[in-house]
Amino acid sequence: MAAVFLVMLYEYSPLFYISVISLCFVVTAAMVLGWFGFDVPVILRSSDETESVLPVPEKRMVQVTNPFALDMGTSGVASVTEGVSLRPCCLEPCVLSCYWGCGVHALQGALQTHQHGPSRLNTPQQFQEALHFQYHHCQSFHISGEDREEHYSEMPAELRITDFGHLPRERYPLVALLTLAEPEARDTYNIAASVTVVHVPDDKYSLEHV
């Protein structure tokens, strides 16, 4: 019986070799086509490639309403010595707090506290404490929901501050904070406050250099 099997294998061995070579060619061609982006049967793809084409789970988009907006005034006044005109536009009654000479590192620390702290900074008092009161002057304005008027802010002349030094500075000229005035409205919006850094020109820094 074994002799008969060996005789048959000898007679059909060329056909066996041809079949093996043809199968290897088909598999190799399929892999090459898959690398170049052509569609090939999944059974011929590697496990890594199969995992890479798995559908990405969809994320639900959530609509968020920003109750704050702040524009520069149209009066043309904008300097450290002459002050700045700001025009807030809010959907709810809010408080505009202007911090002159706010420390750069203090502001960064306050934002980190707001993001990673146990509670959000949604009042001017909480923001001042997070800044560790590292600013020269603070001025606040109460804004109604329909208020579209410009509000003028400046540092007191007795501070005798005309510039904040050369770049890079250790203090921002002006940081404008918008917070909701009513406690009930703070639970309605996901955005608790708006912080805007205003680069005000002075004797040693001009916006023309930006």
Ordered per-residue pLDDT tens for the chain, 210 residues: 545 554 555 555 565 555 656 666 666 766 655 554 445 454 445 555 445 566 777 777 878 889 999 998 887 678 898 999 999 999 999 999 999 999 999 999 999 888 887 778 889 999 999 999 999 999 999 998 888 889 999 999 999 999 888 888 899 999 999 999 998 888 888 888 999 999 888 877 776 544
The partner residues of 180 in beta bridges, in order of sequence, read: 94
Cα(180)–Cα(178) distance, integer angstroms: 7
How is the chain split among helix, strand and coil, in percent rounded to 5?
35, 25, 40
Looking at residue 139, what is its pLDDT? 96
| pTM for the predicted model, two decimal places | 0.68
Task: Classify strands 78-79 and 70-72 as parallel, antiparallel or unpaired.
Answer: unpaired
Element spanning 142, H or E = strand 137-143
| Residue 98 Rama label (left phi>0; alpha psi -120 to 50; beta) | beta
CATH number among 3.10.450, 2.40.390, 2.60.40, 3.40.50, domain 70-198: 2.60.40
Tokens at residue 62, please? 């959530």
Note the Cα 92 to chain centre separation in Å: 25
Beta-bridge partner residues of 176? 98, 196
Residue ranges of alpha helices (H) inside the chain are: 2-35, 47-52, 104-116, 124-130, 183-186
Domain coordinates in residue numbering, the chain = 70-198
Predicted confidence at residue 40, as pLDDT, reads 46
Nearest to 189 by CA among 151, 150, 148, 145: 145
Question: Which H/E stretch holds residue 67?
Answer: none
Residues 77, 154 contacting (CB under 8 angstroms): no
pLDDT, position 55: 75
Place of tokens 């006044």: 77
- The pLDDT value recorded for residue 36 is 47
